[in-house]
Amino acid sequence: MTRSKLLTALLTSVGVASLAFSVARADDAAYLEKAKAYLKNVAAPVTKWDGPTTGPKGVGKKLIIIVSTDQRNGGAQGAADGAAEAAKSLGWETRILDGQGTVPGHATALTQAIAAKPDGIMNVGIDSKEQQPVLEQAAAAGIKIVGWHAGAAPGPIDGIPAVFTNVTTDPSEVAASAGYQAVVDSGGHAGVILFTDSIYAIATAKTNASKAIVEGCTGCKVLEIADTPIADLGNRMGQLTTSLLSKYGKAWTHSIAVNDLYYDFSAPSLQAAGIDPATGSPQQISSGDGSVPAFKRIRDKQYQNATVAEPLNQQGWIMADEMNRAIAGDKPSGFVPHVHLFTGANVEADGGKDNKFDPGNGYRDEYKKIWGVK
């Protein structure tokens, strides 16, 4: 059975279908075994290419503007860098604009991109509904738009035809991996706080799905959903962590955040509270994106248990391929890459030694074959 089919089977076996999670409370022993099987699969080495093998040849020299939600965000930065790398292979000129993590900053960066009169805009991490009028303005000017984490699910975005397609992993896979990690790591007795940012549809989708996974374990409990903006974590996360420690104490065994960035700012408060960085609670799990600091924390056993990493550089190449298809007048490829769970046990594999998830499946060469470039 392929990795894709096995993931689907495991999700279905516990009542998980896409983002419509309906996890029945089951016998905890059986639930734990299914969770362990799922985690074993998402932690396995990625060596085979399961993406597209056909598509349009490279469309020639183009100007592509890459607009990042926030270059301080390791996920957005990694995907943007991958897109720029792939664009170079296609002979495209690229520029990266930084939305600086705010709604006004996003609007300004996208408006600047439109003013440059590019052939295409890659929207890296800005929610499409948030900036729909600006995106529609770009589309009206004949600019092709491809997103990364620009909506709640992969593929075309409902109600926003301006976006050719949205590149992301399946949020249900991400959420299941993070949720099951908390369940298994706790032996079926997790007390979880979920950290999210509701300004992003994909963050809300992942949080709701992880909540359902945790609550499928009868001995586990979701203590709280903490909604705090990613753009202001430097100012908020320390005090929030201290407050939650005071409120829940030892009942708080695990955290699940929608992004590794949350844990960049929680460590000082955990340290001040005398919590052991390797064995103390809460154990911190990220449901995206696999940042450099996250890999270092996991390797050094410093307040992070796991990250559900996305293949950020590969996703940049997927964005470039989708943009090439859009400009060529083709359809989206429909390719949805799988996530990968990194823990202390496998942190050196699949690119982890370089602090990233970079699958050894030859994706660069596969895309170059499609484009007819070297």
Residues 178 and 33 in one domain: yes
Residue 104 sits in a domain whose CATH number is 3.40.50.2300
pLDDT at 226: 98
In this predicted model, what pLDDT tens digit does every residue of 157-181 receive, in sequence order? Answer: 999 999 999 999 999 999 999 999 9
- pLDDT average, residue stretch 208-230: 96
pLDDT at 41: 95
Q: pTM for this structure?
A: 0.84
Give me the percent of the chain exceeding a pLDDT of 90: 88
Residues 324 and 287 in one domain: no
Is 356 domain-assigned? no
Residues 230 and 109 in one domain: no
Residues 80 and 37 in one domain: no
Is 47 domain-assigned? no
Q: How does residue 26 score in pLDDT terms, banded at 50, 70 and 90?
A: very low
Q: Count other C-beta atoms under 10 Å from residue 351's C-beta.
A: 22
Examine the fold and report which residue of 293, 309, 325 is the final residue of a domain before the chain moves on.
Answer: 309
Is residue 250 pLDDT above 70, yes or no? Answer: yes
Residues 204 and 107 in one domain: no
- List of long-range contacts for 248-251, beta carbons under 8 Å, 24+ apart: 248/191, 248/193, 248/223, 248/224, 250/281, 251/191, 251/221, 251/223
pLDDT at 8: 53
Domain residue limits at 157: 63-168+312-337+362-371
Residues 117 and 222 in one domain: no
Which segments within 209-253 are labelled E, that is strand?
A: 221-227
In this predicted model, what pLDDT tens digit does every residue of 75-114 receive, in sequence order? Answer: 899 999 999 999 999 999 999 999 999 999 999 999 999 9
pLDDT at 338: 86
Instruction: Count the domains in the chain.
Output: 2
Residues 146 and 85 in one domain: yes
